[in-house]
Homo-oligomer: A and B are copies of this chain.
């Protein structure tokens, strides 16, 4: 027996449109369902909710968040034997995080020594539970580092990156994270129908590494073949080296622009691959890999090139709005908004202890104490959404795709997450548009958050 909730008068995010239609949820199964047989509606429907024209979006997915509300996912989980303190703090953070509309996320570990990965990653793997009251759901950990360019480490722990040595050979990488944290031999569960046996990621879902280090391409190829999402970043790669990372199997670039070589018109750097990973030899022959409204074109083209997804930190501090607009115009289907938030998300201005060092927050800026080195952000996904809309003029559905269906696609979970389709998890957000004095663009405000078909946040009840 199901319990069906009908939602009426909502504007639903479907692709590039906002569509007014009813939506049906099975609140016991926690999924969206087709409109039930009218003859049965009276029996099964437990409630009808009128959203009065508000926007209903899939829940937000944050692919890169290092911590929030005073907790850092890379903190020492071994302070007590069973990691009870770490578990409790992680749980509290997830409870708070879901109120921002982020119903799923990749808890992201900054560069650490091997021991810390072995201790922490088992806590950060995919949440197995479908209990709607456990807060934001982990879809697996994101290991950002330590296999980085030594001159592009940002505020990551230098000792951890240096101790990773100069190479990124598969064996070293697997040993650092721990094989059991990477690979899982249990059969796929219902959430991961698309995974084949042997391709089921364990606790780690995504890894960011620099593609130019020796062995990195081989590692990218091996791990992506095993179902781990590889992203290139914190790199000294030139255009060709970044392209090689994508060709080897990396799907994404981690926080585009930050911790990578700048664009130069004769050495385009990683930014250049937004247009595709073409082999270029301008003075001789060149392979074409881009097609564009080219149905009239007679010659045979090579297949459409791989164009990477890319994260953008739209906090107004990491990247100039015009650069965000440039990347968006160049490759709108690739852009994903990530917070790159640290424990100072939700905190006050001031200086706090952060792992082995200290961070200073000043408005939207978070810096390593006593320096002007940017250290992650303190913004939420809704803040990123509103910034992005103001700076690009992108439509509401276009912006929401960048935090819902697109990150879900990167993870290969497009049928389960980031979608309102039948059978997908009923994780969603109800948004109001509010006018802002002196500003021509409305702001989106999170009114309600639903997890597995149950309302877990209501602004009116806070």
Do residues A239 and B322 form an inter-chain contact, with CB atoms below 8 A?
A: yes
- Binary contact readout A251-272 vs B (1 if CB under 8 angstroms, 0 otherwise): 0000001100011111110011
Do residues A440 and B322 form an inter-chain contact, with CB atoms below 8 A?
A: no
Q: Which of B319, B433, B436 contacts A285 (CB 8 A)?
A: B436
**Residues from chain B with Cβ under 8 Å of A440 in the complex:** 287-288, 299-302
**Residues from chain B with Cβ under 8 Å of A302 in the complex:** 440
Q: Which of B292, B318, B323, B441 contacts A392 (CB 8 A)?
A: B292
Q: Which of B364, B392, B435 contacts A299 (CB 8 A)?
A: B435
Do residues A272 and B436 form an inter-chain contact, with CB atoms below 8 A?
A: no
Q: Chain A binding site: helix, strand, loop or mixed by DSSP?
A: loop
Interface residues of A in 384-419 (CB under 8 A from B): 387, 389-398
A331 within 8 Å of B (CB atoms): yes
Interface residues of A in 24-48 (CB under 8 A from B): none
| Complex Cα spacing A281 to B243, Å | 33
**Residues from chain B with Cβ under 8 Å of A292 in the complex:** 392-395, 398
Interface residues of A in 225-275 (CB under 8 A from B): 239, 257-258, 262-268, 271-275
Do residues B393 and A266 form an inter-chain contact, with CB atoms below 8 A?
A: no
A378 within 8 Å of B (CB atoms): no
Do residues A282 and B387 form an inter-chain contact, with CB atoms below 8 A?
A: yes
Q: Which of A258, A282, A319, A391 has the most CB of B within 10 A?
A: A282
A154 within 8 Å of B (CB atoms): no
Q: How far is the CB of A42 from chain B (nearest CB, A)?
A: 34
| Complex Cα spacing A266 to B438, Å | 25
Q: How far is the CB of A98 from chain B (nearest CB, A)?
A: 27
Q: How far is the CB of A406 from chain B (nearest CB, A)?
A: 16
**Residues from chain B with Cβ under 8 Å of A288 in the complex:** 389-393, 440-441
Q: Which of B258, B299, B316, B436 contacts A265 (CB 8 A)?
A: B258
A370 within 8 Å of B (CB atoms): no
- Binary contact readout A275-291 vs B (1 if CB under 8 angstroms, 0 otherwise): 11010101101111111
Q: Name the residue on B nearest A283 (C-beta).
A: B316
Interface residues of A in 281-321 (CB under 8 A from B): 282-283, 285-294, 296-302, 316-321
Do residues B391 and A272 form an inter-chain contact, with CB atoms below 8 A?
A: no
Q: Name the residue on B nearest A285 (C-beta).
A: B439
**Residues from chain B with Cβ under 8 Å of A331 in the complex:** 329
- Binary contact readout A119-152 vs B (1 if CB under 8 angstroms, 0 otherwise): 0000000000000000000000000000000000
**Residues from chain B with Cβ under 8 Å of A363 in the complex:** 283
Size class of the A contact interface (CB-based, 8 Å): 35 or more
State whether A319 and B289 are in contact (beta carbons under 8 Å apart), knowing that A274-B329, A300-B440, A325-B276 are contacts in the complex: no
A191 within 8 Å of B (CB atoms): no
Q: Which of B293, B320, B326 contacts A16 (CB 8 A)?
A: B293
Q: Which of B280, B293, B301, B393 contacts A301 (CB 8 A)?
A: B393
A442 within 8 Å of B (CB atoms): yes
Do residues B265 and A321 form an inter-chain contact, with CB atoms below 8 A?
A: no
A18 within 8 Å of B (CB atoms): yes
Do residues B396 and A296 form an inter-chain contact, with CB atoms below 8 A?
A: yes
Do residues A393 and B291 form an inter-chain contact, with CB atoms below 8 A?
A: yes
Do residues A433 and B299 form an inter-chain contact, with CB atoms below 8 A?
A: yes
| Complex Cα spacing A265 to B274, Å | 15
Do residues A263 and B266 form an inter-chain contact, with CB atoms below 8 A?
A: no
Q: How far is the CB of A419 from chain B (nearest CB, A)?
A: 19
**Residues from chain B with Cβ under 8 Å of A257 in the complex:** 265
State whether A393 and B290 are in contact (beta carbons under 8 Å apart), knowing that A329-B275, A436-B285 are contacts in the complex: yes
Q: Name the residue on B nearest A276 (C-beta).
A: B325
Q: How far is the CB of A328 from chain B (nearest CB, A)?
A: 8
Q: Name the residue on B nearest A271 (C-beta).
A: B326
The 4 closest A-B pairs by CB, nearest first: A282-B316, A290-B393, A257-B265, A272-B322
A residues whose Cβ falls under 8 Å from a Cβ of B: 16-18, 239, 257-258, 262-268, 271-276, 278, 280, 282-283, 285-294, 296-302, 316-323, 325-326, 328-331, 363-364, 387, 389-398, 433, 435-436, 438-442
6 contacts between A and B (CB under 8 A): A239-B322, A266-B319, A268-B320, A278-B391, A285-B436, A290-B325
Given A278-B325, A286-B390, 12 more contacts at CB 8 Å? A262-B262, A271-B326, A273-B322, A274-B326, A275-B322, A275-B325, A282-B387, A283-B364, A291-B393, A296-B396, A301-B393, A302-B440
